[in-house]
């Protein structure tokens, strides 16, 4: 009896290189860079590219978490206020506890985000509520908590030195720290997805949860862990964003929800779950950041930016994210 030949696992890199969505995404990135270069030579300078990568790192970290959730066929709409929560709790904790607070500020911020993710996961896994609706409700609850927190206790809102250093420092060969952190987060996510049993379970649940359950996978645990990772990643990005802009403020996470989901989906991850790889997400994140940057350089007003966003996302999805025809 011959072994069934699976195209998976042997040379994942090779398989990825033939991914249609990945080719389209990377082609778009190159086209945009050259298009930008026609507009201004600055677009191809190493300094500009490094700066873009530094900015895309924040989106990249958020997208890493969002991708985990999308891979299991769910969606996390609580990203905006989880980002804000991470930033606000980290800065507030540093203010409350002095030196210890400074030391623990970043872990505390991430922990708070993970707790939001835990609640999301419990709601989706055990209450079996549609994730888009439960996480939208969670977003409102966290927003309420943060309004109460900032209004009632007047906490410290400026970032600690460590947060500032992680977000904007460039100690090694001029490579931004934020970019290095994204590399670490990305490597961790890739390892998790491709080299662990947990990663296999994530894809299994995303493809067909009932089948995964009948094969003995604790599907509820997988769902909860994915949401915890998403919450933690969003809060971590919030902490870094607070360091980047030196303070935490209301609604600082609002501009990140749509770009994060768009980056993951443009990178070829199936919105219904079960298919997608991290290389695609990287491409999606860089694509979105470049698009934002070019629109900013062209001094496009907010209205035009929103419209172009929507059109680009829909156009790319229509190019390769379509469902199957209903003919069976």
Partner 1 sequence: MNDLRHRIHHNGGLLAAIGLFIVMFIIYISNHPVGLTVAVATTASNKAVLLALVAMAQTLPVLTRGLDLSVGMVFILANCLASVIVIGTIGEGLLGITVVLGAGALAGFINGAIIVWGRLQPIITTLATGAMYYGIALYIRPGPGGDVQSDIADLATGQLFGVVPTTLVVLLVIVLIVWLPYRNSVPGRAALAVGSNEQAAYMSGVPVQRAKLLAYTLAGLLAAAGGLMLTFNTYSGEASAPIAGTYTLNSIAAVVIGGTSLFGGWGSAIGSIFGAFVLRTIEDLLFVFDLDPLWQPLFQGVVLLAAVSLGALRVLRIRNRLELFT
Contact residues: partner 1, CB under 8 A: 75, 123, 126-130, 132-134, 136-145, 147-148, 151-152, 208-210, 213-214, 219, 251, 254, 258, 261-262, 265, 271-272, 301-311, 313-314, 317-318, 321-326, 328
328 secondary structure, DSSP code? -
- What does R_g of the chain's alpha carbons equal in angstroms? 20
Please say which residue, 105 or 262, places its beta carbon nearer to partner 1. 262
**Partners of 247 in the β-ladder:** 158
Phi first, then psi, for residue 46 (nearest 5°) are: -55, -35
Cα separation, 88 vs 143, in Å, equals 11
Please say which residue, 112 or 166, places its beta carbon nearer to partner 1. 112
Please say which residue, 142 or 181, places its beta carbon nearer to partner 1. 142
Q: In the Cβ-directed half-sphere of 29, how many Cα atoms lie within 13 Å?
A: 21
Q: What are the residue ranges of helices labelled H in the chain?
A: 12-17, 20-39, 46-71, 79-125, 131-153, 161-168, 177-195, 197-207, 209-214, 219-244, 257-266, 278-297, 302-320
Closest to 236 in 3D by CA, of 149, 98, 121, 107: 107
Q: What is the DSSP string of 219-249?
A: HHHHHHHHHHHHHHHHHHHHHHHHHHSSB--
Q: Closest approach of Cβ 36 to partner 1, in Å? A: 22
Please say which residue, 103 or 136, places its beta carbon nearer to partner 1. 136
Please say which residue, 192 or 317, places its beta carbon nearer to partner 1. 317
Q: Closest approach of Cβ 214 to partner 1, in Å? A: 8
Cα separation, 81 vs 49, in Å, equals 29
Please say which residue, 51 or 250, places its beta carbon nearer to partner 1. 250
- CB burial class (10 A; 0-12, 13-18, 19+) of residue 300? middle
Angle made by CA atoms 267, 54, 100, in degrees to the nearest 5: 115
Q: Closest approach of Cβ 66 to partner 1, in Å? A: 12
Please say which residue, 19 or 76, places its beta carbon nearer to partner 1. 76
């Amino acid at each position: 009896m011959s072994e069934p030949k699976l195209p998976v696992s042997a040379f994942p890199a090779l398989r990825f290189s033939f991914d249609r969505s990945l080719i389209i995404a990377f082609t778009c990135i190159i086209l945009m860079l050259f298009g930008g270069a026609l507009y201004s030579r600055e677009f191809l300078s190493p300094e500009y590219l490094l700066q873009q990568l530094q900015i895309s790192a924040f989106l990249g970290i958020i997208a890493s978490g969002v991708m985990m959730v999308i891979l299991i066929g769910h969606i996390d709409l609580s990203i905006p206020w989880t980002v804000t929560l991470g930033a606000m709790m980290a800065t507030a904790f540093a203010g409350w506890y002095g030196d210890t607070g400074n030391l623990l500020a970043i872990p505390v911020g991430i922990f708070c985000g993970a707790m939001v993710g835990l609640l999301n996961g419990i709601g989706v896994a055990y209450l079996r509520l549609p994730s888009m609706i439960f996480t939208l409700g969670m977003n409102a609850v966290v927003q309420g908590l943060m309004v109460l927190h900032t209004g009632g206790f007047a906490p410290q809102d400026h970032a600690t030195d460590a947060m500032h250093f992680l977000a904007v420092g460039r100690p090694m060969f001029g490579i931004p720290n934020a970019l290095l952190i994204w590399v670490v987060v990305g490597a961790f996510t890739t390892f998790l997805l491709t080299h662990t049993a947990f990663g296999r379970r994530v894809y299994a649940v995303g493809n067909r949860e009932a089948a995964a359950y009948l094969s003995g996978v604790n599907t509820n645990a997988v769902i909860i862990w994915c949401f915890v990772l998403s919450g933690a990643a969003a809060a971590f990005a919030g902490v870094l964003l607070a360091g980047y802009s030196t303070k935490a403020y209301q609604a600082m996470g609002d501009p990140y929800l749509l770009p994060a989901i768009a980056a993951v989906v443009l990178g070829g991850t199936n919105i219904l779950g079960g298919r997608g790889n991290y290389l695609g997400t990287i491409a999606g994140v860089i694509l979105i950041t470049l698009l934002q940057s070019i629109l900013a350089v062209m001094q496009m007003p907010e209205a035009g930016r929103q419209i172009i966003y929507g059109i680009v996302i829909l156009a790319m999805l229509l190019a390769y994210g379509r469902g199957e025809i209903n003919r069976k």
